Amino acid sequence: MASKYRWVVLFAYFLTGVLSQIVWITFSPILPIVESFYGVGESEVGLLSAVFPITFIFLALPVGYLVDSKGFRSAVLIGTSFLSVFGFLRAFATTFLVLLLFQILASIGQPFIFNSISKLVKGWFPPNEVGVATGIGTLSIYLGIIIGLGITPFLTLSFGLNAMLIVYGILGLVILAIFYLFGKEADHEVEREYLPVGEFLSTLKNRNVILVSALSFLGVGIFTAYTTWVEPILEAHGLGVELAGAIGGLIIVGGIFGSVIIPGLSDKFGIRRPFMVVCLLLAAVLFYTHTLLYGTYGLAANLFILGFFFMAVLPLGLDVAASSVEKKYIGTSNAAVWLFSQIGSLILIFAFIAISEMGWDSTLLLSAGLLFLAAVLAVLIVESPRLILSP
């Protein structure tokens, strides 16, 4: 019988995921304030967010090895320490270069958090709860973005830039303490062993790991690119700048619900692949219908439903990859998936702006086409005995 303490551990992890996103997105909604405070331009301030995916690309696989060899608790503690300590020190940066240095050091923590979710879930949760537990873990990513975008301007305008950073710094230190106290390894996961590097690398050649990494490249890449350029896309569909951000955020709100409900249904039926294929096909259709809609209500409904299906694929994919390798290499499988998500994000952000010369609808049509390709790739996933669950 699974211990009820598993939900305490998952909640402690959830908080670290929220923290990683808040620290990452801190400066995006207050660009003019940061520019004025430090006397720099928009491109320099943009670096404060851009360093996170760049750092992730370099650290993803080494951190995955560490998760597998040392356990998720050690990895999450390391990651949360970087995020909380250097996130706090940002408040005392006297120049932009010092602020950028602290942001780079804080970004080191993110791959330790992201690469640990499946290791935690597989250690603590029974098979019929793995999907929903992974969904809750990835939910922290979306909630952290919403909090960072929504609360940061209020705190900054009310109390000032440094005070806002101090608030987030204290929050980070509190979350570090919570995870230290409550983020335990499952009893049967305590012993560690040496993991040969050759076996570690061979895990990256697993069929399902490769397929899910490709899906992550396309799916997370499209999500990141769309949310980066959501305001001009929605302005082209009749929304003013004051509404574009709020309506665009509904894709994340829909994703919050979908990331729990759909993996829960997947757990109930004991399968992953059909849910992934259907969600990707529906997302492709909804990106196409996006091109046909104008005005607030139609776009709002379309984006909420799009997020519900589109963002539910990530927790399902993470579990497919984790279930397709030996348990001791789960962190490595997650690392590969997240690595390609960051590469896809960087490439598609620039691809969107390049093809926007033909109109912003071209980015939506590209998204629809790539998600149809992703659905075809998802059909190739093999549901191994470890992946097929008992309802």
| pLDDT of 193 above 60 | no
pTM: 0.86
* C-alpha distances out from residue 74 to 113, 119, 389, Å: 10, 12, 29
Residue 341's pLDDT is what?
93
**Distance between CA atoms of residues 50 and 47, nearest Å:** 5
Two tokens at 170?
A: 């204290």
pLDDT number for residue 262: 94
Per cent of the chain over pLDDT 70 is 93
- The pLDDT-based confidence of 390 (bands split at 50, 70, 90) is very low
User: What tens digit of pLDDT does each residue of 106-143 get?
Assistant: 999 999 999 998 899 988 998 888 889 999 999 999 89
Given this model, what pLDDT does residue 378 score?
96
Closest of 314, 286, 302, 263 to residue 372, by C-alpha: 286
Rounded CA-CA distance 84/386 in Å is: 36
Q: Rounded to an integer, what distance in angstroms lies between the CA atom of residue 141 and that of residue 137?
A: 8
Res. 391 pLDDT band, cuts 50 70 90 = very low
57 exposed, middle or buried (CB, 10 Å; 0-12, 13-18, 19+)? middle
Q: How many CB atoms lie within 10 A of CB 294?
A: 12
Cβ(87)–Cβ(78) under 8 Å?
A: no
Domains and CATH numbers, the chain: 1-184 (1.20.1250.20), 199-383 (1.20.1250.20)
User: How far is Cα 171 from Cα 165, in angstroms, rounded to an integer?
Assistant: 10
